[in-house]
Amino acid sequence: MMKNRWIAVTLICSLLGATPVLAASADENVESHSSETKLGKSDNIRSVGNSVNHKGPEVVKYADLDSSFQEAVEKAITQYGNGKSIQFEKAFKDEYVVDENKKLNRWLIENKDRSAIVSVDAASGKVLTISITFDVSEITGDYEKYLTTVHSSVKQLGSQSERPFTIANLFISNIEANKSQSITFSTHDDQFIKLDLKTSKPLNYHLKFKEADIDRKIVAAAEQAVQSLGVKKLQPFTQFELHKNEGLVGENGVWILKRRIEVKYSDRNIYKAIQRDHDNKWYFVESEAVVERKTGKIVSVTVAPKTVDQKQVKLTQKQGVALAKPIAKKLFGVDLSSYQVKVDNVWGDYKFSSKDKQSIIAKFDNYGNLVRIERMMSKR
């Protein structure tokens, strides 16, 4: 349920999703190593040098790994590093998921600034994943074609201006259950586009647009959706984004239109939910509409109702259904009469479901206001 509450996902996650989370204080766990100690294939305990580390992940110097592991890592960097100079320093041992019933140990090997991370199976030494972050100036030679493709893809998506991409992250997964090869270009203000390394086709993206670059029909549909939730005085949207997340928002992506107002740091506790942008400013989202890019159909709409002078009420299921039905009909063309409904009293969510049809989620606040309604993109 929680994973479906918000369709759009923040963008850095696509980069970090490929990068294992490691202990921030790992440096403190590194002790002196005997020059004869090589950790790798036969090492199954949390040993560091001649001592045993009972806390946190096992941490060793890169030079103390089995030489065959080092050779595999260096070979991977030679193949995918595009000539980038990388000096590995540490290795961390943890587990990785082979399938839903099996986990194995691996070494996560990284350089000082973690711009390069390679994982290898702790038993076989097979390279599992490779993550290398480049400055855009390092995207030369064979990789330069991907930067050209990214700029071309942005234009094909409707933008009239190029994006100032500053970094690129290459990620390779050789894990059987999750094989992938991609390169993701990002800007300083959280925009990104991820390409399949083999086909050069866009997989995911999060791009910001000017209103002038968007079809007026998309904006009009979003405005009507906001008004359908009882907003009498419509205010213009201030942010226009195009998102595509694999498996979440459909093949052609969605437009996300928001009206945000800046919140003073001293006033941030007045609002129930605020966002901090890349510029370290705080914003409150008054309204948001998600619209399918290809069809122009509404996916969801969310508003922040005015609760001044309102009393808290507890809706009955019958009251909630009665409020949601006409809105679902208007926005999605769906008659909820034949749908089964399940109410989550903690979150105020009403889930309407019917076999082989897209589910509808309606959310009410504690004042009986319908503050969000969403059409699930998948049928379940």
Which one has a higher pLDDT value, 229 or 283? 229
Statement to judge: residues 299 and 310 lie in one domain: no
pLDDT tens sequence across 300-315: 999 987 777 788 888 9
Q: What is the pLDDT of residue 281?
A: 84
Q: What is the pLDDT of residue 273?
A: 72
Statement to judge: residues 61 and 197 lie in one domain: yes
Q: Are 170 and 132 in contact (CB under 8 A)?
A: yes
Mean pLDDT of 272-286: 80
Distance CA 12, CA 245 (A): 12
Last residue of a domain, one of 203, 232, 256: 203
Mean pLDDT of 215-230: 96
- Location of structure tokens 């270009």: 185
Q: Indicate the average pLDDT of the chain.
A: 84
Q: Are 136 and 185 in contact (CB under 8 A)?
A: yes
Statement to judge: residues 256 and 345 lie in one domain: no
pLDDT tens sequence across 311-333: 888 899 999 999 999 999 999 99
Statement to judge: residues 296 and 311 lie in one domain: no
Q: Which residues pair with 361 in a beta bridge?
A: 351, 374
Last residue of a domain, one of 253, 274, 304: 304
Query: If pLDDT is split at 50, 70 and 90, which confidence band does 16 have?
Result: very low
Statement to judge: residues 220 and 244 lie in one domain: yes
Query: If pLDDT is split at 50, 70 and 90, which confidence band does 100 have?
Result: confident
Please check the confidence at residue 143 and state whether its pLDDT lies above 70.
yes
Statement to judge: residues 174 and 232 lie in one domain: no
pLDDT tens sequence across 20-68: 333 333 333 333 333 334 555 544 333 333 333 445 679 999 999 999 9
Q: Are strands 239-244 and 254-263 parallel, antiparallel or unpaired?
A: antiparallel
DSSP 149: H
Overall domain count for the chain: 3
Query: If pLDDT is split at 50, 70 and 90, which confidence band does 188 have?
Result: very high
Statement to judge: residues 252 and 321 lie in one domain: no
Q: What is the pLDDT of residue 39?
A: 57
The H or E element containing residue 109 is strand 102-111
Statement to judge: residues 52 and 118 lie in one domain: yes
Last residue of a domain, one of 186, 203, 220: 203
Distance CA 187, CA 163 (A): 7
Q: Are 379 and 356 in contact (CB under 8 A)?
A: yes
Q: What is the pLDDT of residue 380?
A: 47
Which one has a higher pLDDT value, 13 or 359? 359
Q: What is the pLDDT of residue 35?
A: 34
Distance CA 370, CA 363 (A): 6
* Three-class SS state of 93: strand
Mean pLDDT of 174-182: 93
**Angle between helical axes of 317-332 and 216-228 (0-180°, round to 10):** 160
The lowest-confidence range among 1-15, 72-86, 333-347 is 1-15
Domain encompassing residue 278: 210-304
- Provide CB contacts within 8 A for 314, sequence distance 6+: none
Distance CA 26, CA 91 (A): 10
Q: What is the pLDDT of residue 257?
A: 97
Distance CA 302, CA 226 (A): 7
User: Distances in Å between the alpha carbon of 92 and those of 19, 28, 125?
Assistant: 13, 13, 14
Mean pLDDT of 256-260: 95
Statement to judge: residues 9 and 158 lie in one domain: yes
Which one has a higher pLDDT value, 245 or 247? 245
Q: What is the pLDDT of residue 377?
A: 79
Statement to judge: residues 376 and 249 lie in one domain: no
pTM of the model: 0.79
Q: Which residues pair with 244 in a beta bridge?
A: 205
Statement to judge: residues 219 and 338 lie in one domain: no
Please check the confidence at residue 227 and state whether its pLDDT lies above 60.
yes
User: Distances in Å between the alpha carbon of 173 and those of 49, 84, 142, 271?
Assistant: 30, 20, 20, 41
Which one has a higher pLDDT value, 261 or 126? 126
Mean pLDDT of 239-259: 85
CB atoms within 10 A of CB 22: 17
Instruction: Give the Cα-Cα-Cα angle 352, 357, 359 (nearest 5 degrees).
Output: 30
Distance CA 104, CA 34 (A): 27
283, amino acid identity = Y
Q: Which residues pair with 169 in a beta bridge?
A: 133, 184
Q: Are 88 and 113 in contact (CB under 8 A)?
A: no
User: Distances in Å between the alpha carbon of 240 and those of 214, 280, 287, 320, 358?
Assistant: 8, 19, 12, 31, 26
CB atoms within 10 A of CB 307: 13
Q: What is the pLDDT of residue 274?
A: 77
Distance CA 44, CA 51 (A): 14
Q: What is the pLDDT of residue 134?
A: 98
Please check the confidence at residue 155 and state whether its pLDDT lies above 50.
yes
User: Distances in Å between the alpha carbon of 134 and those of 108, 112, 141?
Assistant: 19, 14, 13
Statement to judge: residues 331 and 372 lie in one domain: yes
